[in-house]
Amino acid sequence: MARPTATLRVGGGAVGFNWLPVLAAERQGMFARRGIAVEISRLGAVDKVTAAVKGGDLDIGITPPEGAMRDSVGGGNLRIVAANVNRLPLSLIANPRFRRIEELRGARLGTSSLTEGTALYTMEMLRRHGLNYPGDYEFAVVGVHPARWKALQDGSIDAAVQLIPLNFVGEDAGYPNLGEVTDYIPEIIFTCLIVDGASADLRRNDIVSFLAALIEATHWVYDGANDDALLAMTKELTQAEGKYGRQALDYMRQKRVFPPDLSIPGSAFAKSVELMEKAGLADHRFAAGVKAVLDHSYRMAALQRR
């Protein structure tokens, strides 16, 4: 196996199930064969990931897209270079006293950010049931999915969208599933790979190598022949025991959670912008200029290296 000659600092708010291809690429030697090593950081909040990439503390962030979009429209250098997840592996899990979304009027909903990711999905789900933010409910910024599950258990929030397999864990513990987020939002940029464009250009070869390994790993995770190793990785990433790893893998494959070529469909990009507009985080001028955040050149070069 080739000895790594370059190190990339890669981080996320939480390193959960959506990191499965990254862990697979590391454990299966796909990064090392391309001469790179990866240092993984867990920052605890999606906003911190965007700031760390912008500030030069991370080379790549795996995070929701909204922060990079706002930065790019504002003249900044943040760019989206690839998709991580385009389908939402999330369920709205609630305190047992709630049985329908309509009952969440006046409730306290957990989120990791008021301007990125989970808050926007929650707003869309509740909006379809006649509940609008602000006014009909409130948000508590409690953190990423493990923190949201803890807050739901200790009663500091009433409901929150939960990532697989914590949604399954919650249901078995008696917390009702009020709805699958994909039923409301079939396709969107859930998490993507962001870089600082100026810094990334200086390390273009390394980032292309990273993406090439990630593409190989994504195909690997869809192969059922690798399930023994994948189940162990899933347990490590999610701390979920027994059947929950199996459920998470089955859900991932059924929903086609990871795009095999790391591409972002135009419809997914448009939905992210639409939900930002509905939340009052973007206007028509934003929509007109936001596509500049996309830089497909790294991904296209990576596809040539497979």
Cα(206)–Cα(69) distance, integer angstroms: 23
Cα(121)–Cα(88) distance, integer angstroms: 9
What confidence score (pLDDT) does residue 130 get? 97
Residue showing tokens 């090392």: 32
Cα(72)–Cα(144) distance, integer angstroms: 24
Q: Flag whether pLDDT at 2 surpasses 70.
A: no
- Over residues 85-91, the mean pLDDT reads 93
CA distances from 61 to 14, 68, 154, 298, 299 (A): 11, 10, 30, 15, 15
Tokens read off for 266 = 């135009």
6-86+189-304, what's its fold? D-Maltodextrin-Binding Protein; domain 2 (3.40.190)
Residue range 90-184, CATH number: 3.40.190.10
What confidence score (pLDDT) does residue 146 get? 86
Q: Flag whether pLDDT at 306 surpasses 90.
A: no
Cα(148)–Cα(142) distance, integer angstroms: 6
Give percent above pLDDT 70 in the chain.
99
Q: Are the folds of 6-86+189-304 and 90-184 the same?
A: yes
With bands split at pLDDT 50, 70 and 90, how would you rate the model's confidence at 305? confident
With bands split at pLDDT 50, 70 and 90, how would you rate the model's confidence at 186? very high
- Over residues 279-294, the mean pLDDT reads 91
Return the domain boundaries, the chain. 6-86+189-304, 90-184
What confidence score (pLDDT) does residue 18 get? 92
In this prediction the pTM is 0.89
pLDDT digits (tens, 9 = 90+) for 15-50: 888 999 999 999 999 999 999 999 999 998 888 999
